[in-house]
Chains A and B, each alone.
Chain A
Amino acid sequence: MDTLAHDPVDRVAAPATTQQLDLELRNIRKRFGDFTAVDGVSLQVGKGQFVCLLGPSGCGKTTTLRCIAGLEEPDDGDILIGGKEVTKDPPWQRDIAMMFQDFALFPHMTVAKQVGFGLEMLKRPKAEIVERVRQVLASFEIATLADRKPASLSGGQRQRVALARAMITEPRILLLDEPIGALDYSLRETVMLELKLLQQRTGISFIWVTHDQNEAFSLGDLVVVMNHARIEQQGPPEEILQRPATAFVAGFVQGNNIFRGRVKEVLAGSITVEMPVGSFLVPRPLAGPAPTPGTTVSFSVRAEQITDLVSEGHANRLSAVCTAVEYFGSVRRHVFERSDGEVLKVDQFGAQAARIKPGQQTTLGWLADASVLHRWADR
């Protein structure tokens, strides 16, 4: 994966040819009345990739998924599955399966009937269906539930039945709409790991819609962050964590501090951004031209990159008052208030001795390279 590409448009030009892709979206648009649900989404999914569509509710991720399934027809743009154009094809003619948010199990069918439904639709011989259902139920460890109806199943059991029902036809792509959102919190981690292993073993591409960044970052080969019907950024998890492309992504991903200011100077390797609370050095964009002086820009710094042990190398410095200290498992988070009233988060390992106390005025610093410049408006 080309880690230099900042812009989704660059990524579309990635080397894979259409035939090698399981899925390609070309500039999909979908409107419901005056509301634009999906606005120019382009995406390429290679063979057997695990893709997570991540974003807040109403960002268009579910509509994008429904367009791929054929449950919605886009107003504009093309959808290719396995290199074949399917934009106008109905769901039952597409090489996909889908797992719904509340699993959508048929209430009047037993588990065995339910799981065999897809094969029945493919007109496979009865004996083959019986045998395949038996195998699949066994491999999902739900063989004992074969004659039960959905109403008598627990949440975890329903999830397995829904997954078995979708996987039995071995589709090219499995679409999952918040597939573990309905499960108890304690179950989620186990199920996530199982699904990841299942995906790797079967080589089926997964398109997983979620609003939970932990799911997206621990599962996805490719994470696609959406907001207001558009893709904000797509890339491998570490790229999105380390190099958020926009202020939205930086804000949506936990642990980023966002700074907004005006470009003062453009130097050889970096630019200076001027703000009421100070002037900061930010590296130039990895590709393309730098913003011209006077441009309004934003950049982000991860909370763990900021330290109170300021040394010579810390080009960027700032004075702030600690207002609270919170513990998140292995991390101790200090919440600071800058002189302009904005919040600044600083993370330290919980194992280190606590140095900063609430109410304390502290000078904080970070390396110039720790700042990540976002896309700016007039680029």
Chain B
Amino acid sequence: MSTIRERSPASYWLAMPAAAWMLGVVVVPILLLIWVSFWGGRAFSTASPLTLDNYARFFANQTYVKLALSTIVHTATLMAVTGVLGYCIAYFLVMKVKSPGWRLALFLAFIIPFWTSTLIRAIAWVPFLGVNGVINQALMAIGATQSPIEAFLYSRTGITLAQVSLYTMMAAGPVVYMLNAVAPQWREAAMTLKAPPFTVFWRIVFPLTLPGVVIGQVLVFLNVMSDFATVATIGGNKHALLSNLVLLFYEGSQIRAASVVAVLLMICMLVGVVIALRVVDIRRLGAER
């Protein structure tokens, strides 16, 4: 418990350093980005007139619009796969692994890869997915296929596979937390009220862990939407999502176009988070025990 009262002068002063930092590195750059996205003319100048031309140009191009839609579809696929997989892993860790030692060991096994950077983890998939990669060799060794499957690397499938491995734990983590808060006697009470196991899960456990599912989905959504590194390395420049487009425009010094895509990406993310928060009130998380 803090001894400093809410809304007292002292509390405002203490919040100042963090607020100044946030203003400098988050708020101002975003405002700049939005401003630049409306610049008309050709000169890179603060005197540029403000127009909607940049946005009009983006939406006039069918390729860009399709790219935006496919980004949303791709993200939704990732959310569905990591959601189901993450829930299963979380359920297994919390409900089925009884020994605390094993639970910690498994948890670390899942977590330790996250100590390396996203880029490295993405690149690490290349030797797995390639034509002579581990997966193809394994498939041929067990006789599942005669010739190597080329669809893994430099393909949408490969990107999805790699991203599932990268982001499943993000979907699982919040569920682990929520599952731990489900008291065993709630499940037992349901059982003594004649509920068979699946009903216990569906009526008691799942609703109580729903906030964790939603938070996990938000994390996956935000990360997949903004992940250009995995798409670039595994997709081999053959595939792109909105975030890659930002990079492409930036490298081509098309700052206005890059800003437009960045702003649209942010709008998509904001809308996604708003929808998620309508489903579950994160502020009330864990308060219901």
Contacts and interface: CB of A to CB of B under 8 A. Distances in A.
B288 A121 contact: no
Contacts of A91: 188, 191-192
A71 B195 contact: no
B183 A97 contact: no
B193 A104 contact: no
Q: Nearest 4 CB-CB pairs, A to B? A: A104-B185, A121-B194, A104-B189, A91-B191
Contacts of A100: 185, 188-189
B33 interface: no
A349 interface: no
Contacts of B195: 92, 117, 121
B58 interface: no
B196 interface: yes
B191 A90 contact: yes
Given A92-B194, A121-B199, A122-B194, A107 B288 contact: yes
Contacts of A102: 185
18 contacts: A70-B192, A71-B192, A92-B194, A92-B196, A97-B192, A100-B185, A104-B183, A106-B189, A106-B204, A107-B288, A108-B207, A117-B193, A117-B203, A121-B193, A121-B194, A151-B288, A166-B192, A166-B193
Interface in B155-191: 183, 185-186, 188-191
A249 interface: no
A165 interface: yes
Nearest to B192: A98
Given A92-B196, A107-B289, A165-B193, 6 more contacts: A91-B192, A97-B192, A102-B185, A104-B188, A117-B195, A118-B194
Interface of B: 183, 185-186, 188-196, 199, 203-204, 207-208, 287-289
A70 B191 CA distance: 9
Contact of A71 (B186, B188, B203, B204): B188
A365 B116 CA distance: 83
B219 to A, nearest CB: 23
Contacts of B194: 92, 118, 121-122, 169
A96 interface: yes
A69 B189 contact: no
B102 to A, nearest CB: 16
B191 A108 contact: no
A139 B190 CA distance: 23
Nearest to A162: B189
A96 B191 contact: no
B117 to A, nearest CB: 39
Interface residues of A, number: 26
B204 to A, nearest CB: 6
A118 B193 contact: yes
A114 B238 CA distance: 55
B24 to A, nearest CB: 41
Nearest to B189: A104
Contacts of B189: 98, 100, 104-106, 165
A151 to B, nearest CB: 6
A117 B289 CA distance: 19
B98 to A, nearest CB: 12
B177 to A, nearest CB: 16
B284 to A, nearest CB: 10
Contacts of B190: 106, 117
A205 to B, nearest CB: 15
Interface in A102-140: 102, 104-108, 117-118, 121-122
A106 B191 contact: no
A121 B189 CA distance: 12
A71 B191 contact: yes
Contacts of A118: 193-194
B288 A108 contact: yes
Contacts of A96: 192
A169 B190 CA distance: 13
